[in-house]
Amino acid sequence: MAKKPKWVVAKEQSKKAAAAETVWLFGLHAVRDALVNPKRERLRLVVTRNAADKLADAIEAAGIEAEISDPRNFSAPIDPQSVHQGAALEVKPLNWGRLEDVALGAGDGPPRIVMLDRVTDPHNVGAILRSAEVFGASAVVGTLHHSAPETGALAKTASGALERQPYLRERNLADAMERLRSMGYVIFGLDGEADQTIDEALAPVRDRPIALVLGAEGPGLRPKTKETCDALVKIPFAQEFGSLNVSNAAAVALYAARV
């Protein structure tokens, strides 16, 4: 069998790389919000007739041609077990720009940022994005590697927040924390073994920019991450052996840190 010419191989590799840089969003809510988001680069929309009717206004606003698919043989290349509700949209990942710019905050009060140390579960990250939007955080920041990328499952759990809540992924979390500190941020790491509660730690610095750092369930914060925090804090529990998953802990911490 003859070897493929180099230019053919290069073209195929380029196509594969381009395909890897796209994301398939699914579910009526996630697809609708992406369709009406002017920052989204939309590539392909696959919908059932019923979903097309429900999304008609958003499809028209986006100016995209929908591919109508049979609900019994949904043609979008997504997991058949996905709860897609007859709607799937291929998009380019969002680019929120530099951490330094996002960290300035858009409101009048001091900004709040959530930082995630190797939180890999897209459902947890999606839920955290949703809480971050509700409580007015300026951004959610994860790690470039060993963290949840932008996926359909993440977007569906975020229930639209992915389109509006900045989600950045930094190569080195400790370095990102130091950059925030140089901007005046106070950085608190959530740790169940900490001596002081989050309310005690926040009281004297509530008028300053604050970053809340949470680790993955089980491992928690890595040693380097802990060392880079200004202080470690805990969420007090009514019972001796209380615990929260990372998305619930983020919601409680954001509520405690609200301006």
What is the tens place of the pLDDT at every residue in 29-41? 999 999 999 999 9
C-alpha–C-alpha distance, residues 91 and 46, integer Å = 12
As a CATH number, domain 6-91 is 3.30.1330.30
Domain boundaries, the chain: 6-91, 99-256
Q: Do domains 6-91 and 99-256 have the same CATH topology?
A: no
C-alpha–C-alpha distance, residues 103 and 96, integer Å = 11
Quick check: 259 pLDDT over 80?
no
C-alpha–C-alpha distance, residues 214 and 248, integer Å = 11
User: What pLDDT digit, counting tens, does each position of 138-168 carry?
Assistant: 999 999 999 999 999 999 999 889 999 999 9
Q: By the 8 A CB rule, do 211 and 180 touch? A: yes
- As a 3-state breakdown, the chain gives helix, strand, coil percent values, each rounded to 5, of 40, 20, 40
Domain 99-256 belongs to what topology?
Alpha/beta knot (3.40.1280)
User: Which residue in the block uniquely carries the two structure tokens 């990250």?
Assistant: 125
Residue 252: predicted pLDDT: 96
- Chain mean pLDDT for the chain: 90
Which band of pLDDT confidence, cut at 50, 70 and 90, is reported for residue 21? confident
In DSSP terms, which residues pair with 149 in a beta bridge?
none
Residue 18 has a CB neighbour count (10 Å cut-off) of 10
* More confident call, 16 vs 6: 6
* More confident call, 86 vs 17: 86
User: Which residues, including other chains, have CB under 8 Å from residue 202's CB and lie 6 or more apart?
Assistant: 188, 210, 233, 256, 257
Least confident segment among 12-16, 144-148, 174-178: 12-16
Residue 140: predicted pLDDT: 97
Quick check: 47 pLDDT over 80?
yes
